[in-house]
Amino acid sequence: MIGRYTLPDMGRVWSEAHKYELWCQVETLVMEAHVAAGTVPAEALAAVRKAPAPTPEAVAEIEAVTQHDVIAFLSAWADNTEPREAAAYVHFGMTSSDLLDTALALQLVEATDLLLEKADRLVGVLRQHALAHRATLRVGRTHGIHAEPDVWGHRVADFAFAVARSRDRIRTARAAVGVMAISGAVGTYSNIDPAVERYVADKLGLKPAQVSTQVVIRDGISEWVCALAVMATVLEAIALEVRHGQRTEVRELWEPFGKGQKGSSAMPHKKNPIMSERLAGIARLVRAQAVPVMEGIPLWHERDISHSSTERIALPDASIALDYMLNLTIRLMSGLVVDAERMKANLESTGGLIYTSTVLLELVDMGLSRDAEAYPLTQRAAMKTWETGRPFRETLREEAAAAGLKIDESRLDEVCRPERFVADLSGMFDRLAELT
């Protein structure tokens, strides 16, 4: 992922330097287990512990010749070890995947914890925003068309619960990726004792794979990246709502616009929804990683490396991009400007058409036949309002008179109030207030 969208903490998780630090940690723990079992001399472990992790540059120089990253790492680390002979016991009984999959599990857990911290913060921001607007009337829309009265807090509450569920999926996926294996070539423990695997797992807070055929099968990692993709798409849904709300014809919502900010190089009046549009674009990148990672589940026999090149790109990119998206959505919703007066004006802009469903039911309750009288009457009046711009109640009165139908205007006065439509949302807001 390019630096523009990489936040420092997540960038460090996926840095080459940190990867080699983790590789040293895993290899050192394996040596500890061997020393405890009497397989490796203790003085070798002491020398290896003192050796600093190799630099990415040193590993890259050797890999240019060996064309094998683990061998290059081991050689570069051996160059830092005094005496160098002690490095002979590093990687003892292991195969490359033992190191790669175990260290990758650590990176995935670290990345997940950063994502979960931001997801918790976003749930709180959305919860508070929705509760603050539990009485902010607006028009609800279906198919982009005005439907019935609603409140802005209702829409945001939906997002809050969706983000919370997405966070919980990521939390579940954390366990799915916190899995390691140190079982040797083809996973038969032919040259390494299973006790070594258990020791390392306990020290690192990971779970040994239930079975490993040299690599940990990628269903858990696929679950993780799919959980990230769902969260990214929920964040895009929030962004889409803001983008619509900031349209000139709507003007109900405004992204934060800082002092000195410019909206267009050509048109000084522009305040564009750039944060929301950026979220929409980056969500595509997170979703795009799901299929390539899942295609790493089927490998040839006990192991191949067709998954490796994909994961070097897909796993860092998915988590770095989502980390950025979560941070950006927190900023967006923390500074979102809600124009309650414009929301009210838009709600009233169709001359009462948003009450047609209620009028229809009320007419049926007055004794009119739904199919033969109430629905045709309501629809004819609504279409006349669309065409002329005259108030719906006025066109309804005319159409009823023309059809010889009597309606009780006072009853319609009672039901055609926007507050009536949101009167039963208190239970939902109570549940939202308890959301953590």
Report in angstroms the alpha-carbon separations of 394 from 232, 306, 413: 47, 70, 13
What would the two tokens of residue 330 be? 């927190």
Residue 268: is it exposed, middle or buried by C-beta count within 10 angstroms (0-12/13-18/19+)? Answer: exposed
The answer to whether the CB of 269 falls within 8 A of the CB of 355 is: no
Active-site position among 264, 309, 349, 369? 264
DSSP string, 185-230: GGGS-SSS-HHHHHHHHHHHT-EE-S--SSS--THHHHHHHHHHHH
β-pair type (337-338, 179-180): unpaired
Give the torsion through C-alpha atoms of 92, 88, 18, 225, to 10 deg: -30
What one-character DSSP code corresponds to residue 15?
-
What would the two tokens of residue 166 be? 């997405």
β-pair type (137-142, 145-151): antiparallel
Other Cβ atoms closer than 10 A to 147: 15
Q: For residue 54, is it left (φ>0), alpha (ψ between -120 and 50) or beta?
A: beta
Active-site position among 18, 75, 91, 143? 143
Instruction: Please name the residue that has the structure tokens 């009597």.
Output: 406
Residue 129 designated active-site = no
Residue 264 designated active-site = yes
Residues classed as catalytic: 143, 264
